[in-house]
Chains A and B, each alone.
Chain A
């Protein structure tokens, strides 16, 4: 017994001493495929700080990990409504902007947005829209000279089995709510059930509710229409020239992903150094070209070739921005939305 206890004690001591001598590091928690990971080596060469990188698949998953004790992080990349929720739940630390001189390269239109009205907790990283990615050749084969500019096409019975929806509650509810002329942030049970019924009515036409997989499936001509984020659309369009992206005229969702530092971060200065690094025009350019997602960096935008800047999947027009609505946190009403969403998924 004594030997056993001694052995355990020895192992614990070893484990502790190994964690103690690794040098400075930051723990970064980001969406999958949302950063060119080769820049970590450069960051380490410049600052000596090692990046420990892990990924999440949705804002809600990230929130569960951060609050459920699944791991502590120094820098996270949530979206607008989740930042609002985390500020309200006092999960974030105010950012010291003195440590981020490159903030001057970030376009001012992304500051003081409603989810962070005092602009204290977040630094904009990427932004974009939600829209329809369509295969122009397949659409023409199925429905002739139809113009893809409305959510109505996702309820067009000619496209039965040719529609991919997105496996995400708030994004999949965007088309029916906008079609009905309601807010994307509705907390009115009648509006929500009307949208739910519209999604249930659409079920026979939907081939699948996909996540990231939709990018590859659209490249492989698996369906004619898909509900996707603008950046995903750009990625797929880069691999299949038949693909096009449109934000329907009824309006859509405009979203922002920003960098935040959670309470409990062990290396705030390191995280701020990394924000500064990511906000430099050259690094932002590399991330933009790698991910296909739209940059918030005006200096980077000027470095991009015209074909990218003029692509509506990359840079939405002011008109599109005007009719788009950002998500806000639904609070307690989230459970009602979830029930409605489960009913959509469980009804056949």
Chain B
């Protein structure tokens, strides 16, 4: 009888996750020819090809865009981690005001993602809030909007909660007696953190890294708004193929390539989490979000 409750989820997942993926896969390996649909890997070779059908075009432009997307996503993920871990730690350790601090942290999320990103336009523009404050303090003004930095700021701002929350949850639920045991055995505070707390929070860190990296590498809205359309990322390329060019086959091929790269990066991240646990060297995999 209980299995009945599983069916809606299976139905949901097949209709909204499995079926779309299969459709994208189908589009990526087919093309519309005059005599019907044919199988082809042309879209994939086109992505990696140096030139466009022998015409005088530049070298491997799509790969350059892909590399830039990954670089920006990695930078954003690292910044999120560096900012997010101490924040999660502080949230988990502030027993007295924890729920209020968490509440403050969550309030901006009640607002729409687009609105929050638009707000950064007003802050960063030449005659914007940031420069008004800087010149009031007698400091030189900065020109950040429509640069790489603005895109990274937008990503960090929007994706930071995805880093903080999983780490916070793990740290909060950590058994305090383990930390006390480490202290009893003579570990100082640095040792307790590095050898006990941090390793035990790895599952949260892995979730955080994954949950920030994935939206960061696929975003096209943030790069459009804060990059001023000139920091074209792989998400923008895919969006263009679907919305503006109407070449769904090429767009799907790019999406498949992106999925493969994300899976590869997630595999890399997971490697960090495999540590010999048993005396015989067997690895134990910790649970992550997935």
* Chain B, 130-173, CB within 8 A of any chain A CB: 143, 145-146
- Contact A207:B244 (CB < 8 A) given known A217-B125, A221-B127, A343-B58: no
> Once the chains bind, are A340 and B245 in contact (CB under 8 Å)?
no
Chain A residue with the shortest CB-CB distance to B225: A213
In the complex, per-residue mask of A52-82: 1 if CB is within 8 Å of any chain B CB, else 0: 0000001011011001000000000000000
> Once the chains bind, are B146 and A208 in contact (CB under 8 Å)?
yes
**B243 CB-CB contact with A under 8 Å:** yes
What is the interface of chain A mostly: helix, strand, loop, or mixed?
Answer: helix
* Chain B, 52-76, CB within 8 A of any chain A CB: 52, 55-58, 61-62, 64-65, 68
A206 to B65, CA, bound (A): 19
**B232 CB-CB contact with A under 8 Å:** yes
**B230 CB-CB contact with A under 8 Å:** yes
> Once the chains bind, are B52 and A222 in contact (CB under 8 Å)?
no
Question: Which of A96-104, A114-122, A330-338 contacts the other chain?
Answer: A330-338
**A38 CB-CB contact with B under 8 Å:** no
- Provide the residues of chain B in CB contact with A1, threshold 8 Å: 4
**B215 CB-CB contact with A under 8 Å:** no
> Once the chains bind, are A346 and B65 in contact (CB under 8 Å)?
yes
**A171 CB-CB contact with B under 8 Å:** no
* Chain A, 168-209, CB within 8 A of any chain B CB: 169, 189, 193, 203, 206-209
Chain A residue with the shortest CB-CB distance to B228: A208
> Once the chains bind, are B52 and A336 in contact (CB under 8 Å)?
yes
Chain B residue with the shortest CB-CB distance to A65: B243
- Provide the residues of chain B in CB contact with A338, threshold 8 Å: 240, 244-245, 247
A342 to B61, CA, bound (A): 8
Cβ 8 A contact of B244, one of A169, A217, A339: A169
- Provide the residues of chain A in CB contact with B225, threshold 8 Å: 213
- Contact A189:B56 (CB < 8 A) given known A208-B230, A335-B245: yes
> Once the chains bind, are A207 and B228 in contact (CB under 8 Å)?
yes
* Chain B, 90-146, CB within 8 A of any chain A CB: 121, 125-127, 143, 145-146
Cβ 8 A contact of B61, one of A61, A335, A343: A343
- Contact A58:B244 (CB < 8 A) given known A217-B125, A222-B127: yes
Interface centre among A60, A67, A203, A208 (most CB of B within 10 A): A208
**B229 CB-CB contact with A under 8 Å:** yes
> Once the chains bind, are A209 and B228 in contact (CB under 8 Å)?
yes
> Once the chains bind, are B57 and A340 in contact (CB under 8 Å)?
yes
How far is the CB of B120 from the nearest CB of chain A, in Å? 13
- Contact A342:B4 (CB < 8 A) given known A61-B243, A220-B127, A336-B55: no
Could you tell me which A residues sit within 8 Å of B by CB distance? 1, 4, 58, 60-61, 63-64, 67, 161, 167, 169, 189, 193, 203, 206-211, 213, 217, 220-222, 334-336, 338-340, 342-343, 345-348
Would you give 22 A-B contacts (Cβ < 8 Å), ordered by A? Answer: A58-B243, A60-B245, A60-B246, A61-B243, A61-B244, A189-B55, A207-B146, A208-B145, A208-B146, A210-B228, A213-B121, A220-B127, A222-B126, A336-B52, A338-B245, A338-B247, A339-B57, A345-B229, A345-B232, A346-B65, A347-B58, A347-B61
Lowest 7 CB-CB distances: which A-B pairs, in order? A208-B228, A209-B229, A60-B244, A208-B146, A167-B229, A345-B232, A338-B245
Given contacts A346-B65, A348-B230, 16 further A-B contacts (CB under 8 A): A58-B244, A60-B243, A60-B244, A61-B243, A64-B243, A64-B246, A193-B55, A207-B228, A208-B146, A208-B227, A208-B230, A210-B228, A220-B125, A334-B245, A342-B62, A343-B57
